[in-house]
Structure 1
Amino acid sequence: MTWAGTNLVGVNRLLVAVVHETDPLARLGPWLRDAGMDLEERHLGTGDELPATLDGFDGLVVLGGPQSAMDPPEVSPELVGVRALLAQAVAADVPTLAICLGAQLLAEVGGGKVRTGIDGPEVGATLVAKRDAADKDPVFGPLPLSPDVIQFHHDEIAQLPPGATLLASNPFYANQAFRVGRHVYGLQFHIETTPEIVREWAERDTVGVAASPHDRETLCLLTDAVHPDLEAVWAPFAARFADLVRTRARQAA
């Protein structure tokens, strides 16, 4: 598979797969646009189609949703195209940021394994810890040692793709962030949320909330409280990812 990105007059295009309307770009959109990215969103839940290839795009963003990475095509047909694009991104090392379900799909297409979380759902505000390999990573390196994140998942990445670099872990589920190749990133957790989005998830996901040590209102109050810290840490992270996209596009031109 070949890849032809674009770098016309300094404009870099990212294809954004909004897999489900409950997980929009939210705050990640402005962070990436402020960093100079041109975003083309495809909302799969409202009938948008994905392109067959990444030609013409400099990078890919895949968001989350209530589907499972283990869903067969007849259950979640919208994931077929997402898997195909992630496979292309891995093959050509196209800059990619895959979040939650997106990270699980990335792990699978790269040769890793996803399963129902053996310790149950991971839901709410928590911390992840950088691994040593993250210090040398251009996107993860400047993060604090244990940044705040938002979790909302029932499945886990049980095994990373062969050769993947583990970048962040926590005691609940080890594979929290990873890199495939030099430019393809997966985050099991969320960085893009708003308090309103998390509250909607908490209302929908009664099973996940029940697995939490907190009731729904307490869980939401705790996630509300970390959102300012999320922005302080992850907006610069998004800008560094944009820098990676620009650098890769210049190299590919």
Structure 2
Amino acid sequence: MKKILIVKTGGTYADYAAERGDFVDWTAQGMRLACDRWVSVDAQAGEPLPAPEEFAGGVITGSHDMVTDGFGWIDDAKAWIRRAVDARLPLLGICFGHQLMADALGGRAGYHPDGLEIGTTDVTLTEAAGDDPIFRDLPRTFPGHVTHSQTALELPSGATLLATGAHDPHQSFRVSEAAWGVQFHPEFDAPAILEYIARRELELAEQGLDAARIRTTVRDTPESASLLERFAAYCLSR
């Protein structure tokens, strides 16, 4: 049976990763995958991305880098995304991965005009989500953890908008049959987003945002988290 590939485009803070594991670990745990059912490739470090046909599915992680940074590895990852979609590999891009997919497939990523979004926000599904393989049966509105300065400013031509939010109109989209992007973080739990709020408190103050108020938004996000397991089940059932 083919494995699921986790494309590492970045990681959490090094000291926090030493304590709790990194984005790839949180993602694999969220998908409920045994250690022999997934592999990770560090695209950010320049590791070559393998042929999409070798895998049952792929997840593109979040990152502290920005899609517009212009690094060579980002261009390489975009090219791989296009190959993966052409090969009909199921994909799930998370936060940076969501923005990268939008940018790679004909949309546009960039800084959100209203600045940083962080905390736990309401994600509202569109009508199209009712027929989507991984979003159907979820509540119309559910909480999701967010921490991002950039966003998918424009979706690719022909993309299906699946979810929106008060700050970000593009909380999720799907391209083609099975390539999804989610701006929110299904792999984060409440302690993780609280850690990010604490570490970005100075940045929040500089933008006129109240970290104490933002902390009051934080709550558990079981519906958001379930998308990882739903995506894995979809990949492994094909």
Q: What range is the shorter-chain TM-score in?
A: 0.7 to 0.9
User: 2: CA distance between counterparts of 1:141 and 1:37?
Assistant: 29
Deviations 1:25-64 (Å, cap 9, x if unpaired)?
354322323599811022455x471324223111110011
Instruction: Give the SS at the match of 1:140.
Output: coil
2:95 maps to 1:100: yes
Q: Distance in 2 between matches of 1:35 and 1:138?
A: 23
Question: What residue number does 1:214 align with?
Answer: 210
Aligned to 1:17: 7
Question: Shift in Å at residue 115 of structure 1?
Answer: 2.0
Give distance in 2, aligned partners of 1:207 and 1:115.
Answer: 22
Matched, 1:62 2:64: no
Partner of 1:251: none
**What letter corresponds to residue 63 of structure 1 in structure 2?**
T
Report if the CA contact (8 A) 1:123-1:209 is conserved: no
Partners of 2:174 and 2:180 within 8 A in 1: yes
Corresponding letter in the other structure for 2:67: A
> In 1, distance between residues paired with 2:118 and 2:98?
16
Percent identical pairs in the alignment equals 28
> 1:41 is matched with which residue?
40
Render the CA deviation track for 1:100-132: whole Å, top value 9, x for unaligned. Answer: 000000001110011211111111111110000
Secondary structure of 1:161's counterpart equals coil
Alpha carbons of structure 1 residues 35 and 135: separation in structure 2 relative to 1, 3 Å: farther
Q: What is the SS of the residue equivalent to 2:121?
A: strand
**Matched residue type, 1:177:** S
CA distance, structure 1, for counterparts of residue 134 and residue 170 of structure 2: 17
Q: Counterpart of 2:102 in 1: which secondary structure?
A: helix
In structure 2, the residue matched to 1:139 is: 134
Unaligned 5+ runs, structure 1: 1-7, 249-253
State the partner residue of 1:233: 223
Indicate if the aligned counterparts of 1:195 and 1:220 stay in contact, CA closer than 8 A. no
- Structure 2, unpaired ranges of 5+: 13-21
Asked whether the 8 Å contact 2:186–2:227 carries over to 1, the reply is no
Q: Which residue of 1 aligns with 2:15?
A: none
Tell me, in whole angstroms, the C-alpha distance in 1 between the residues paired with 2:3 and 2:208. Answer: 39
Count of residue pairs the alignment pairs up = 228
Quote the Cα distance in structure 2 between the aligned partners of 1:235 and 1:37. Answer: 21
TM-score (norm 2): 0.85
Q: 2:69 aligns to what?
A: 71
The correspondence of residues 133-212 of structure 1 with structure 2, limited to 5 A, is 133-206=128-201, 208-210=203-205, 211=207
Q: Counterpart in 1 of 2:234?
A: 244
In 2: Cα distance, 1:191 partner to 1:208 partner: 23
Aligned residues: CA RMSD: 2.4
Q: Name the CA shift for 1:209/1:163 in 2 (closer, same or farther; >3 Å).
A: same
Is the contact between residue 14 and residue 38 of structure 1 (CA under 8 Å) also seen in structure 2?
yes
Distance 1:48 1:196 in 2: 30
Between the aligned partners of 1:26 and 1:198, the Cα distance in structure 2 is: 16
